[in-house]
Amino acid sequence: MENKFKEKTIDSFSCRSNKFTGSASFKIFVELVQLFGPGLASLLGSTARDGSIKSVLDTDSAGLQLAMSSLMGKLNPDTNLAFIKKLLSSTTIDGQDLNDNSFDLIFQGKLLSMFKVLLFVIEVNYEDFLGEGGFRQVLAQVNPPQDTKNILNS
């Protein structure tokens, strides 16, 4: 039987993300697509620094910038903060559950780390979309990544 969680060190944090149940996974996936569709597609369709399709966390910085600008254009701070906390609800940081208080303390001054942890949670829960032959590779073939350097400078 496969592990129901994955662990990874992200920046200075020891992260453990438990997989969502099938029902929760589907509901959260629908919310992800509704809230962040174009930005998520941009992120998942980008390539890693070395040109391969590996971890979302290996995406080149220009691809991350493009995806983040697309994601940020859709954000409603209050609604989406609640959704971000829902995404992180099955995750511990340095052995500590994430709740309102710990979220604020852990990610105080570390917003980029928070986004990296979010990407890790997405990767853990939707690995079938992100792995070899998954959604990310299909996107790369159907809509090859554009030259992100030119997009960011236009």
pLDDT tens digits, 101-133: 899 999 999 998 998 999 899 889 988 766 555
Beta-carbon count within 10 A of 10 CB: 16
pLDDT tens digits, 80-109: 888 889 999 999 999 999 888 899 999 999
Instruction: With 0.75 as the threshold, say if the pTM is over it.
Output: no
β pairing state of 96-97 and 5-10: unpaired
The angle that helices 77-87 and 22-45 make with each other, rounded to 10 degrees, is: 110
Domain borders along the chain are: 5-153
106-117 burial, b at 16+ Cβ within 10 Å, e below that, comes to bbeeeeebbbbb
